Chain A
């Protein structure tokens, strides 16, 4: 199936731990994104990569570090997890220059719970 897939779907961890969320797309897109959805359902962009190059870096604590080994993958690593990091994290992809016309394709989300 052509899609954006994220793993894991659920992640429960203790404060202070380090964790990673993986994202892969097989749509041939060259741009990938991470969005955070808070408890009020508000979605805010965190990062965007185009062909492994960081192009959008919103105001995000430097405990969050995206890594893009190739244009089909964008992983999110989070150090020293805090209670406020609990949220649903969505990965998305698009082709440069076409998001304007076609929007993004989203993954199904990773629900992170920090206890």
Chain B
């Protein structure tokens, strides 16, 4: 069964500094991987996805993620944090077998200080 582990429950950065949110996955098959963002009291928005094409994936709002099969990782990065990036970020895995179920990580809260 597939699963994801988000290594940090909270990450704090200063505005203008780089962001790194870590995610490791476990999957029996070639997975699809996603990052979703949830702003306070809001729904879930898809940031980016990896589906076995390019291993470096670009998403919205300047975020990127790199799929590394050898490390079973899919870390989310952004060169320069903005105050509006403060939110909860979820790493998500799906396997392409039958009806696909998205399995969520436990989330990482990104805090951005001025």
Asked if A and B bind, the verdict is: yes
A56–B49 Cα gap in the complex (Å)? 23
B-contact 0/1 string along A70-107, CB 8 Å cutoff:
00000000000000000000101010110111111011
Give A3-50 interface residues, CB cut-off 8 Å to B: 31, 35, 40-45, 48, 50
A109 adjacent to chain B (CB < 8 Å): yes
Interface of B is mostly: strand
- Cβ–Cβ < 8 Å partners of B95 in chain A: 100
Q: Are B46 and A103 in contact (CB under 8 A)?
A: yes
A interface size (C-beta, 8 A): 27
The minimal Cβ–Cβ distance linking B20 to chain A, given in whole angstroms, is 20
A35–B95 Cα gap in the complex (Å)? 18
Q: Which of B44, B51, B102 contacts A101 (CB 8 A)?
A: B51
Q: Are B92 and A103 in contact (CB under 8 A)?
A: yes
* Given A99-B101, A104-B102, A106-B44, 7 further pairs, Cβ under 8 A: A41-B38, A42-B107, A43-B90, A45-B103, A99-B100, A103-B102, A106-B43
